[in-house]
Amino acid sequence: MSQRGKRRKARTAEQRSALKFKSAQLHYLRIAPRKVRAVADIIRGLRVEAALAILDFTSRAAAAPLARMLRAAAANAASSEKIDVDTLVLKEISVDQGPVLKRYLPRAQGRATQIQKKTSHVSMLLEEAKA
């Protein structure tokens, strides 16, 4: 990483701590980003309690890892910064594509078809709701 990138990263980290933002990341989730984004779009902008209630009743595979990540982020915010969990709002959630695992499936006449097993990187940002 270049010096400029390091400075920018440090600056944003300082700004996040000063503005009472708490972030969490989940890397190498073995679900395609397109499927994770569908669930992430549902909970974006909601309070943590409401988002967890929705995720508990969402019947998509990505709902369980996102709920686990959201619970961990809220617990970290509550323990490290003494923030009330009831005031936290899911400000940002972004889903990016991670590395692709390439596998091959045997086909007719000696051919092979490539299968792409996609992974996702999820990052979320929690902030205190304004009263």
pTM: 0.80
Return the residue matching tokens 């073995």. Answer: 30
Q: Burial letters for 78-89: b for 16+ Cβ neighbours within 10 Å, e otherwise?
A: beeeebeeebbb
Tell me what pLDDT residue 66 has.
97
E strand or H helix at 127: strand 112-128
Rounded-to-integer distance, Cα 10 and Cα 12, Å: 6
**Domains of the chain in sequence order:** 20-128 (3.90.470.10)
Mean pLDDT of 102-130: 95
- Per-residue DSSP letters for 67-103? HHHHHHHHHHHHHHH---GGGEEEEEEEEEEEEEEEE
* pLDDT interval class at 19 (50, 70, 90): low
